[in-house]
Structure 1
Amino acid sequence: MPLAVYILGLAIFAQGTSELMPAGLLPEMAADLRVSVPDAGLLISAFAIGMLVGAPVLAVATLRLPRRTVLTAFLGLFALTHVAGALTSSYAVLFATRVAGAFVYAGFWAVAAGTAVGLVPAGSRAKAMSVLAGGLTVASVIGLSGGTVIGQHLGWRAAFWLVAGMSVLAAVGVLATVPGGRPGAAAAPSVPAELRAMARPPLWLAYVTTALTTSALLASFSYLSPLLAEVTGLDAAWVPAVLALYGVGSLIGITLGGRIADARPFAVLAAGVAGLVLTSAALGASAHLAVLAVPLVFLLGAFGFGTNPALNARPLSLAHDAPTLAAAVNVSSFNVGITAGPWLGGLAIDAGLGYPSVAWIGAALGVTALAAVALAAFLNGRTSPAVPEIREITSAL
């Protein structure tokens, strides 16, 4: 992997910390902003809303601009939104800064994905994407738990200042490593050409799979902090450690998935989503038992993030002649899931079903995602009979 790919992964770490950290600070943020815990959970969905819109819009708007300049500008704007968020005492203003920050983060993701896959051979795309997504995974290991600890001791605003500072440092790294200049005439992307490449039904089935799988994970993940404190009965001081365990599982899952997904994408998807379903159901049934809930949190991260390299790489393989827009719409698909998961979980909590209900919602969404994976493998097998996709799923399950 070129050094620039790892720097882009570190930039995703800086921004991904902001995407995840409210999950560990929901009680503190709710109390300070004088809103309910489900309302505070919507700050995660607010981030997803910004990414949902920002990825395709900014990908198209910046398609022919120098990538280093665009990536640096996005990081600078992201830092400014977090300075504004740290200074406000209004829930509405904070919600707006979350949307705005996510808007440019989505643009960063789309351009960074196109940049990363352009720097490596075609057979290493999933591995390159696993490095980028690995930045988000490391954020779930270090950023989430570290942000939770900082938020608990110094206030949640301190965590926002930390993200702003890391984003500035990431911008310096991007300036130093990502090639500059405009795309050459032969390689210059064309908006009409990228739009034509997007008109492929299997590509949109891949996006549906991404959205369903992500919502299945986020339904449980978004409320892990209050679930562990109120249902499992863990002391608040132990919650960051368990969230870090989730991050360790995520890192292991995405590393293994990244090594296999280029050669066997459907096997990775089938095994990961099936594991996510079983883990979510087990967590819903045993959330009150710490001896079971804690290792299940680890498995939730491992299975949930194990699918990530395949979810990221498959759209790029289906639309290899439209890498920027394909990656952008996939970012939006991830964020459809990130929006839907916490929203559905919040509805269940508001209805009085309790925090374990969010894990059952995750399991149900996972079953739907598994059906989408099976359909995609079947269709792929019909068009490429030499590829034993159905056998891959059978062996994985």
Structure 2
Amino acid sequence: MNHRGALLVLGASCFVYVTAETIPVGLLPQIADGLSVSEADVGLLLTSYAVVAALSTIPLTALTMRVPRHLLIAATVAIFAISQLIAVFAATFTILTLSRLICAMAHGVFWSTIAPVAARLVPPGSAGRATALVFLGNSLAIVLGVPLGTALGQWLGWRVAFAVLAGAGAICAVAVVAVLPRLPALPRDLAVRAGAQLRASIRIIRRGPVAVICLVTAVLVTGHFAAYTYIAPLVRRDGGLEGAGLSALLLGYGAAGLLGNWIVGRFVDRHPRTLLVTLAGIMIASLVVLIPALGAAPTVLAALAWGGVFTATPVILQAAILRVAPDARDAASAVYVVAFQVGIGGGALLGERFVRAGLLAWLPALAALLALAAVLVVLASRRTFPAHLPAPEEVPASA
């Protein structure tokens, strides 16, 4: 059965999640002014979000393994919508932070479930392409969600941007219920109690390939978000871009990511290791260009290259984690999500420390060095990124 509509709905849900998670990056000045806090404090919204998501992902994923997957996805998207509505009416920075932490609790379960669900909707051997299609929502969030949300927030206020996200999340929750086929929990998950599921989810990190992918993810994402969290002040320093110029740059950044995602989706099931090394190399080169303040044109070109390669990178990493743990995709996805959130939180925290110390200009250098470290790990791990592995026995989706 063709479940392309279901994959598109999953992609739309990814779109709203990614937009909401990263929109503080584009609205740092507006949120800071509106709630009378510093830009560095607003940057920590990403850190606190990531910490809660990292701590809650494995236990909550284990506790929900028996829940039908279509209902679980719908519930996480509904919680997202509610959290954004709370943010709209947040009177203090503390309430805004709490609203994001509510979202973070659902975040880990959503991202642990989304790729295995996509894999169940397509024939064996097409999981990478299905993941790439769903993750187009991530790229579109950077292409349209963040720049349009930034422009809307600058025009009508940041609360309006969050209100739009709340409405979009509600629509996605309804669409998931209406379009996603029935996806019962797998028999092996129904047969195992929650405590045993939790222990198995923790033990899976001991598998060598899973550990390597998580290490590469954490290192690469840490470097990226150390710099990307403060892209607004960074491009203001390098290229004098702010306001409409910043929105346009974020639009181009995401458009480049959309192109990168499309290209990677065509090859991720055949040459994942080569693709990952190539993308990381381009990322390093673009970040090196951003170290000195070279003016508007080099800054824009480097940012576009950076956006194009990094936005497509999670497609490779997520597909790889499914391949190296075909018998425990949800558990492996959970630890991968933890690694990604550790990277986001650690990167945002490192960036905040650098900014407070007056070292904004050094953030691209830090990101480039960590990307280089990730490349070295990939090159040293020849068997970690296979093109294909046998698909596990699963319960097919039913209409």
> With structure 2 as the length reference, what TM-score do the two structures score?
0.90
1:128 corresponds, among 124, 127, 130, to 130
2:63 corresponds, among 44, 57, 61, to 61
Deviations 1:289-312 (A, max 9, x none): 101001111101111123221111
Secondary structure at 1:123 match in 2: coil
CA contact (8 A) 1:126 1:313 kept: yes
Superposition deviation, residue 88 in structure 1:
1.2
Superposition deviation, residue 235 in structure 1:
4.2
1:116 corresponds, among 115, 118, 124, to 118
Query: Structure 2 stretches of 5 or more lacking a match?
Result: 390-399
What is residue 370 of structure 1 aligned with on the other side? 375
CA shift in 2, pair 1:376/1:98, >3 Å: same
In 2: Cα distance, 1:12 partner to 1:128 partner? 13
What is residue 313 of structure 1 aligned with on the other side? 319
Superposition deviation, residue 188 in structure 1:
4.6
What is residue 293 of structure 1 aligned with on the other side? 299
What is residue 84 of structure 1 aligned with on the other side? 86
Aligned pair count reads 380
What is residue 97 of structure 2 aligned with on the other side? 95
What is residue 331 of structure 1 aligned with on the other side? 337
What is residue 270 of structure 2 aligned with on the other side? 263
For the aligned residues, what is the CA RMSD? 2.0
Secondary structure at 2:206 match in 1: coil
CA contact (8 A) 2:204 2:331 kept: no
What is residue 394 of structure 2 aligned with on the other side? none
1:214 corresponds, among 201, 209, 221, to 221
In 2: Cα distance, 1:32 partner to 1:336 partner? 28
In 2: Cα distance, 1:12 partner to 1:63 partner? 20
Secondary structure at 1:21 match in 2: helix
In 2: Cα distance, 1:163 partner to 1:189 partner? 38
In 2: Cα distance, 1:317 partner to 1:84 partner? 38
In 2: Cα distance, 1:5 partner to 1:350 partner? 42
Superposition deviation, residue 189 in structure 1:
6.9
What is residue 34 of structure 2 aligned with on the other side? 32
Secondary structure at 2:125 match in 1: helix
CA contact (8 A) 1:217 1:276 kept: no
In 2: Cα distance, 1:55 partner to 1:209 partner? 19
2:48 corresponds, among 40, 46, 49, to 46
In 2: Cα distance, 1:262 partner to 1:304 partner? 18
What is residue 309 of structure 2 aligned with on the other side? 303
What is residue 392 of structure 1 aligned with on the other side? none
What is residue 180 of structure 2 aligned with on the other side? 178
Secondary structure at 1:75 match in 2: helix
CA shift in 2, pair 1:352/1:380, >3 Å: closer
> With structure 1 as the length reference, what TM-score do the two structures score?
0.90
CA contact (8 A) 1:50 1:98 kept: no
In 1: Cα distance, 2:89 partner to 2:116 partner? 34
In 2: Cα distance, 1:120 partner to 1:376 partner? 29
What is residue 395 of structure 1 aligned with on the other side? none
